[in-house]
Structure 1
Amino acid sequence: MTQRAISVSGLSLSAPIPAGVPAGMPAGIPFDRLVLPPAFLRRTVPNARPLRQIRPLQPLPALLEEIRACHACAEVLPLGPRPVLQASATSRLLIVGQAPGAKVHASGIPWDDASGERLRAWLGIDSATFYDASRVALVPMGFCYPGRGGGGDNPPRPECAPLWHEKLIGQLTNVRLTLLVGQYAQRYFLGNRRKASLTETVAAWREYAPDFVPLPHPSPRNQPWLKRHPWFGHDVLPALQERVGALLASTKPRARDAQSARKDSTMTKPAIDIQRVYEPLPEGGHHCFLVDRLWPRGLSKEKLANVEWLKEVAPSTALRQWFHKDPEQWTEFRKRYLDELNANPDGWQPLAEAAAAGHVTLLYGSHDTQRNHAIVLREYLEKKLQHK
């Protein structure tokens, strides 16, 4: 077997050419003549597996029909085979989930349950958009309901991915963003780029953008996880909704590419996270700053030994006390605090410089995770960085 340079979508690589391919075949092989592994399509060429074959692709409608007729696991599926998925050659958003639940198996409609309702809320899109295959592909790791075990639904059947995923995902060439919902999707697509846990992988979501966003499963059973990690709602969902909205708003992909690229940049820029100072401190290169004017009650200096205290960036004592007496004055508080920040560049400038250089976390002590000065401060810093 010989090596030949192959150019694909402006990229070049050397790959083994199977026996039987004519020696005179030109080096530039059209993209639609290649069956490439997901790793290549993910733009992770250095880690890509060898090209398996060069042949004309099976038409997507025929492939979907074949998948929906699959009986490979019929003997071990408690309710029998019923592959559930949605895809189109024009899909721009790919959502890779786990496996259908019993309700989805009964209806034959992907994400037709409480988890789907929450997922659509996370994305900020309605059902009509979600179920528009021309824009959204819904491809679980296992296409059929796998039955229940001791702790809930069983994992996706392991036969699905080797049988179908490479063929199917290789045809979704218009996909610009893939959402990896749950650990099984993250393991398959991210491989050794995953972190040690799902929480750490989701927390590092900007490392995988703009191609991927890892998400927890939106099941109601995950409500405790969401309560323990409010940063998911503060940090991940607003950027995700902005990206998805821009991606799906256009019916003319070519005209949208430049705008999509600008949205990509907002997802990959250094992150500014916020969290209560009483939660476990983040790991993995975050530079943490305490942005309260008062030291948090009950915490020792040793506990926050690696945290930098920037109390001068906090609201003035008078403003803090005024807002504490009447938290309903949130809008007015926000306006007054922004005025204080504008008049105090020496207070916020160190934070802006740190955020421009890497990942930072703003720590605050308030019990209110929806209305506190750290939220205002982050918005202020993000705008400053955008205009640099």
Structure 2
Amino acid sequence: MSTTRSLPRLLTEIRACRVCADTLPLGPRPVLQASASARILIVGQAPGAKVHASGIPWDDASGERLREWMGIDAHTFYDAARIAIVPMGFCYPGRSSGKGGGDNPPRPECAPLWHSRLLALMPDVRLTLLVGQYAQRYFLGNRRKGSLTETVEAWRDYAPGYVPLPHPSPRNTPWFQRHPWFARDVLPALRERVADALALPPDADVPHKEKRNMTLPAITLQRVYEPLPEDRQACFLVDRLWPRGMSKEKLAGVIWAKDVAPSTELREWFHKDPEQWDEFTRRYVAELDANRTAWEPLVEASKAHPLVLLYSSHNTENNNATVLRDYLMKKRRK
């Protein structure tokens, strides 16, 4: 049986799997994507609650950061013909009751049952991204170092087939701040390898600008109250109000781009009715469209350096910085 025929059958079988249904708090809903032509394989941990609800892999803040790391947009990321997404556990495992919260580890049944069968049907994979300790333990075995940090720092040892990565969750922001070498050394190499793995044949009609945009520096988000990067040449505070309790000394070197923030009227309206997220996004984008001089310097800065957008909101998913980041990424691709 050909690969192109047998892989869809296997995916149907996986999506009907009920092996550990009794242990899953929200029931089984395997979330993955794969095709026989995939060039890149992403192996993460397990879907979170938001991904379980949508059925779309990496459909959350972690996924946004992972796409930034890779230097690709959502359209490329969700092109199953090019990128396969096969987590260690296919279903949401529920929340941990232990200290610190977070999700439970991936269910141990998935990988032994399905991974080898899936990988055998994806012969064109050139690059595998191992996101988190569970993927690294499974794929690297004894080659893995003593800790996730040591494994990621030794990323060159696993070339050319693998790149070990930390989990891109916002909860890991302190880790990123403690290890600036990750953004400085690993991410540029990761984007280069992703671009190489996805490269079309030499005679393909792809504009030079489109190829270049695949490796643009990342635009990341961070609460202003978290430890700031040592290199602040491309850190922008994108709130209209100065963050409460934060001294100017603590933000020395940070550029306050308050003119790119939502207008006072829009900010106050959204504060009164935060359920109107879609309408807030629409109105804010309209304000940005009419205020090119405010955001254009950020676009230019993001082409030369990784950009960090600082915000003060407690909501890490629905805030003005997330809208601005998506807006800037679209503008710099034009």
- Equivalent residue runs for 1:313-352 within 5 Å: none
TM-score by length of 1: 0.50
Structure 2 partner of 1:355 = none
- Equivalent residue runs for 1:158-169 within 5 Å: 158-169=108-119
Structure 1 partner of 2:167 = 217
For 1:194 and 1:246, locate their aligned partners in 2 and report how far apart those are by CA, in whole Å. 25
Structure 2 partner of 1:87 = 34
- In structure 2, the CA distance between the partners of 1:254 and 1:210, relative to structure 1 (3 Å rule), is farther
For 1:103 and 1:152, locate their aligned partners in 2 and report how far apart those are by CA, in whole Å. 13
TM-score by length of 2: 0.58
Q: Which has the higher contact order (CA 8 A, sep 6+)?
A: 2
Structure 2 partner of 1:299 = none
Structure 2 partner of 1:366 = none
For 1:249 and 1:169, locate their aligned partners in 2 and report how far apart those are by CA, in whole Å. 21
Structure 2 partner of 1:19 = none
Are positions 1:171 and 2:121 aligned together? Answer: yes
1:226 to 162, 176, 198: 176
Are positions 1:123 and 2:70 aligned together? Answer: yes
The C-alpha deviation readout for 1:273-322, integer Å capped at 9, x for no partner, is xxxxxxxxxxxxxxxxxxxxxxxxxxxxxxxxxxxxxxxxxxxxxxxxxx
For 2:32 and 2:95, locate their aligned partners in 1 and report how far apart those are by CA, in whole Å. 20
- In structure 2, the CA distance between the partners of 1:253 and 1:140, relative to structure 1 (3 Å rule), is farther
Post-superposition offset of 1:57: 10
Are positions 1:248 and 2:198 aligned together? Answer: yes
Aligned partner of residue 14 in structure 2, secondary structure: helix
For 1:140 and 1:244, locate their aligned partners in 2 and report how far apart those are by CA, in whole Å. 18
**RMSD after superposition:** 2.4
For 1:147 and 1:80, locate their aligned partners in 2 and report how far apart those are by CA, in whole Å. 10
Are positions 1:185 and 2:185 aligned together? Answer: no
Are positions 1:143 and 2:100 aligned together? Answer: no
Post-superposition offset of 1:247: 1.8
For 2:149 and 2:136, locate their aligned partners in 1 and report how far apart those are by CA, in whole Å. 12
Are positions 1:114 and 2:61 aligned together? Answer: yes
- Percent identity of the aligned residues? 75
1:76 to 23, 26, 43: 23
> Moved runs in structure 1, 4+ residues, more than 3 A?
252-255
Amino acid at match of 2:170: P
Amino acid at match of 1:246: D
- In structure 2, the CA distance between the partners of 1:253 and 1:207, relative to structure 1 (3 Å rule), is farther
Structure 1 partner of 2:51 = 104
For 1:185 and 1:253, locate their aligned partners in 2 and report how far apart those are by CA, in whole Å. 33
Post-superposition offset of 1:249: 3.1
The answer for unaligned runs of 5 or more in structure 2 is: 205-252, 255-304, 307-334
Count of residue pairs the alignment pairs up: 205
Aligned partner of residue 68 in structure 2, secondary structure: helix
